[in-house]
Structure 1
């Protein structure tokens, strides 16, 4: 979801900047601008002196400008940090016992763990995501449980079976998990 929002947001911002820049370049090179355009020709300025100094003497102007710009900078930094932060673990370091080690693809371990968790009794759907460092991975597990399943029993089966198998097969000392469970919602059906 976040990836789609980022791509759409980048696409829209890019198209707006490209259109504005191309139109400004065209007017600067001598093309006649439309009547609603920001300035009239190649020798016109974008903001006239009257427009730039219009609210300068008002007490609210500079604090508002600084607050808006600071908010834009903070939003841009937050967005950049969320884009650069990797959510998924790409690989897990497996201790082979000979000192060399091996790398296991994170998606492969996620897939196996997801299939094993989905195969547990009473689990309708499972989703697994690896996070953390490759030497010390962590898991985020989301389970959708059937209505008749006890959540404590499902959690015990998950930790004793699926997570234990993943931890042992990857030769990990520990495999912490953040498990979130929800119930499956069935639609009511008319019986005739």
Structure 2
């Protein structure tokens, strides 16, 4: 949910900045702008002469303003690029032995590992997600355990079977795995 709120707020901030910048550009180009717009002509300026000269004797003022604006632009660019970054790994590079290599779809490896993890005794549902780099993937596993399942035993079987098979099939030297185990909700047993 936070990702959605983050994107909506960034989108709204971008639209406001685009509208203000477009309005200032339109006024500077001599196009017609609404009567309530603060700048309304080619000769109008964003900062008056008095505002510009107020800090003229201070040598630090304009470099500080320029540096602050540059930091804001870099921060906004970083946030924009962070929104475009993919969280899920789309493919894993597999060493095929011939030097060319092969590409294994991330969803395929996730699906096969999830199916094998769900076949383990005591696992009701498994969700697998690959993150990281194409040559160094990281697996994130979330298991929903049935009430009778032993977490330690299930985790041992997960690492020795499902994760080991995924690592071997992708030809990886190591496959770091983060596992999260949750218990399934169940009704209390009644004894009569």
Matched residue, 1:137: 137
Unpaired runs of at least 5, structure 2 = none
Using the TM superposition, give the Cα deviation of residue 155 of structure 1 relative to its aligned residue in structure 2, in angstroms: 0.8
Are residues 1:110 and 2:110 paired?
yes
* Equivalent pairs, count: 187
Decide whether the 8 Å contact of 2:128 with 2:141 is kept in 1.
yes
- For residues 42-81 of structure 1, what are the structure 2 equivalents within 5 Å? 42-52=42-52, 69=69, 72-73=72-73, 75-76=75-76, 78-80=78-80
TM-score (norm 1): 0.70
> How far is the alpha carbon of 1:128 from its aligned partner?
1.6
1:33·1:41 contact (CA, 8 Å) conserved in 2? Answer: no
Corresponding position of 1:181: 181
C-alpha distance in structure 2 between counterparts of 1:62 and 1:24, whole Å: 22
SS at match of 2:113: helix
Displacement of 1:157 in angstroms is: 1.9
Deviation at 1:139, TM superposition (A): 1.1
The yes-or-no answer on 1:20 pairing with 2:15 is no
Which residue of structure 2 lines up, in the alignment, with residue 165 of structure 1? 165
CA contact (8 A) 1:122 1:154 kept: yes
The two structures have a TM-score, normalised by structure 2, of: 0.70
State the distance in 1 between where 2:54 and 2:150 align: 68
Deviation digits for residues 53-101 of structure 1 (CA, Å, limit 9, x no counterpart)? 567889xx88996896476356336425634654333322333345543
Long gaps (5+) in structure 1: none
